[in-house]
Amino acid sequence: MNSKVTKNVFYEDLQEAGRFGELEQRLMGESNLPGPRANLGAASTFADAFASDWVASEAWELLVEWTGKTEAEAPTDDPREFLPFCALQAMGSYYRYAEPARQETILERCRAAMNDARWRMREAAAMALQRIGEQDFGALRTLFDGMKDTANALEQRAFVAALAHPPMLKEQANVLYALELSEEILDQIAAGQTRYGAEEFRVLSKGLEYALSVFVERAPEQGFRMLAKFAVTDDKRMQKIVKSNLGKARLAKKFSQDVERIQVLMNA
């Protein structure tokens, strides 16, 4: 048995189905909800408890039940929302160890959460996908490649938010994939190939406004080439995305000459 798991504060609670009610109350009590910041530490610790092949069927069914909670059952900023928020991240931890049928369920729940009306659940989707990608980047890439041609704005936002995760970007191939997928999304925006609702596009734009800089920092030659491509457009949406990334300290301080060159292109 994984010695790390035995030290997890949620381990004992997850061993006995009879204690799940107590666990539910404990998590809700530690949620920090209602409030501006959920207890990310508690959510992460709970998710870490599933990073093993020891997960019993009762514990798995608990995750399925919690991730299935609708907005009516677990409203935004309510302590009950913390349950699916934690459970989805736990599914991400468990993905590597799960049997294929359970892996498919995990991906289905992540896809659903990408489109959830609750912003905190959309964040949970990105965080769960990051946990999957740290273990198996190929699985993440396969998922995104299968979705990207028909992905909506919220799904596209989930792609870039999940990929903007430094532990996954240690491999250059992963960085180049993140840039490639980002460029495809930007191309679709520029070409008007996808219909974006105002709120959905706002969410996507916010994601692109920071994620691109994370990728560019790790592959500056290819990354600044991509930014230069979209810097010369008259599309104000694109200009905002490029300008925001150029203003991030990770680029402005380390690559000041490249940043200035792109800014000149934008002002030409």
Domain span at residue 49 reads: 1-135
Q: Is residue 144 part of a domain?
A: no
Same domain, 117 and 172: no
pLDDT, averaged in runs of 10, over the chain (268 residues): 56 84 95 96 96 90 97 98 98 97 97 97 98 96 96 97 97 98 95 82 97 98 97 92 97 97 92
Q: Is residue 141 part of a domain?
A: no
The CA distances from residue 41 to 8, 30, 87, 89, 259, in Å, are 12, 10, 14, 12, 36
Same domain, 130 and 154: no
Same domain, 243 and 117: no
Same domain, 1 and 125: yes
The CA distances from residue 242 to 16, 167, 227, in Å, are 51, 24, 6
For residue 140, the 8-state DSSP code is: H
Query: CB within 8 A of 191, min separation 6: which ones?
Result: none
Same domain, 78 and 102: yes
Query: Could you give the number of structural domains in the chain?
Result: 2
Give the separation between CA 146 and CA 181, rounded to whole angstroms: 12
Same domain, 126 and 14: yes
Same domain, 102 and 178: no
Which helix H or strand E contains 21, and what residues bound it?
Answer: helix 20-29
Question: Could you tell me the pTM of the whole model?
Answer: 0.92
Q: Token pair for residue 138?
A: 């190929």
Structural domain ending residue among the three candidates 135, 166, 185: 135
Q: Residue 59, CB half-sphere, CA atoms under 13 Å: how many?
A: 22
